[in-house]
Amino acid sequence: MKPRILFISNGHGEDLNGSRILAALTRLYPHCEALALPLVGEGLAYQSLGVPLLAPTRTLPSGGLIYTHPLNWLRDLGGGLAELTLRQIWATWQIKEEIDFCLAVGDLVPLLFARLTGRPFGAFLVSTSAYYEGYLELPAPTALLLRSPRCRRIWTRDAYTARDLQRRGFGRADYAGYPILDGLEPQGVALGWDGAGGKIALFPGSRAPEALGNLARLLALAREMQGLGQYQFRAALVSAITEADLRALAKSQNWDYLGAGLLRRENCEVGCYWGAFNDILGACDLALGMAGTAVEQAVGLGKPVVQIPGPGPQFTYAFAEAQTRLLGPSVTTVAAPDGIPRAARLAAQILADEEYLAFCRLQGAERVGAPGGSAGLARALYACLETGAGDGEPLK
């Protein structure tokens, strides 16, 4: 009988990591079957692989970031959070006898769902790291679930966090890789880069409508930079931002929209692209970021990042500051009151600092790892299926 694994995740970055582990697992071990339970959003990363989704999906007002502000709980409740959660619980309960193993990708909520099945599970703590505070702060319910006999393995996003957990008695903690640097090969999109100035990537994030507001701020930053030197700007957009959105944004910010994603104001041009993230990331010299996973990927590839916070709900000052602690000196956060002019000057200085640029190229491997994390985690996950992770009979 084929082993069946349920992947449970709760956010865009978590879905991305889960889907890449899943893809590697089914590639390396074709006899395995996989199901996915994305608890937040539409689960597009899983859908793109053709993986069956266990329960209905829905995009809620907070985008899954209910912890950033108390009002987000109320907004999500009004948007159907309670009904959605009950349907997800019911779907999980119905299928629990058909599952051999669960992988919880994220934080407390996926762990609760994994424990609800009563099946053995592994935890990939992609949402947190010991780099934030020098040690990993685990909420009491999370620690309790991780110490459950049903939790066969704890995988962390970096080796530093695994060592910290092991020192504190979590003997099942390990680091097997971090998947976000996989699948970043350029796709050959023609971006029109030339030799005239530094190549600057704009990453406004993945959650609409926040990403559109973030793009407005990044446009202001690009214009400020253009007054300091010669630069080329390319923005990587998600499909939720449309050409109609760009046209309306240009009008509200006194830019001209020239069609085909091209924005212009005086001597500053910004080319906006859909489906070109890998190409923009791979070729840029520096990233201007208001995003989570995209900034991590930039750091992993050795790119310096300058961040400017916004009103949220995700990319607030608190989020950006925490991300700076997580990713280290490759990332600089510049906040109000003179955030945009100061960020522009800093970005221009970074591009002229060869020593710092070389440092960023080394820093990525320490904080984010190397490509191959998806396969590493898939092999570790399969080992649990084969051996029962040392806690009993094989699970397959």
**What domain range includes position 101?**
4-182+371-390
Same domain, 255 and 279: yes
Residue 395: the pLDDT is 47
Residue 201: the pLDDT is 98
Residue 313: the pLDDT is 83
Residue 389: the pLDDT is 47
* 289 within some domain: yes
Same domain, 158 and 36: yes
Residue 392: the pLDDT is 43
Same domain, 256 and 313: yes
Tell me, yes or no, if the pTM score tops 0.85.
yes
Same domain, 289 and 166: no
Same domain, 22 and 100: yes
Instruction: Assign 27 to helix, strand or coil.
Output: helix
Same domain, 321 and 376: no
Same domain, 282 and 328: yes
* 188 within some domain: no
Residue 92: the pLDDT is 87
Q: What's the 3-state SS for 29-95?
A: CCCCEEEEEECCECCHHHHCCCCCECCCCECCCCCCCHHHCHHHHHHHHHCCHHHHHHHHHHHHHHH
* 223 within some domain: yes
* 215 within some domain: yes
Same domain, 100 and 43: yes
* 82 within some domain: yes
Beta strands in the chain (DSSP E): 4-9, 33-38, 101-105, 121-125, 151-156, 173-174, 198-203, 231-237, 256-257, 262-265, 268-274, 286-289, 305-307, 331-333
Same domain, 120 and 230: no
Digit-coded pLDDT (tens) for 350-372:
999 999 999 999 888 889 989 99
* 14 within some domain: yes
Neighbouring C-beta atoms of residue 187, cutoff 10 Å = 10
Residue 385: the pLDDT is 84
Same domain, 161 and 205: no
Decide: 127 and 67 in contact? Cβ < 8 Å: no
* 192 within some domain: no
Number of domains into which the chain is organized:
2
Residue 81: the pLDDT is 65
Same domain, 320 and 380: no
pLDDT under 70: residue ranges of the chain = 57-81, 84, 388-396
CATH number at residue 358: 3.40.50.2000
Both structure tokens of 258: 């020239």
Digit-coded pLDDT (tens) for 96-124:
899 999 999 998 999 999 999 999 999 99
Instruction: Assign 314 to helix, strand or coil.
Output: coil
* 51 within some domain: yes
Residue 108: the pLDDT is 93
At CA 95, angle to CA 94 and CA 100, rounded to 5?
A: 150
Same domain, 26 and 70: yes
Residue 314: the pLDDT is 84
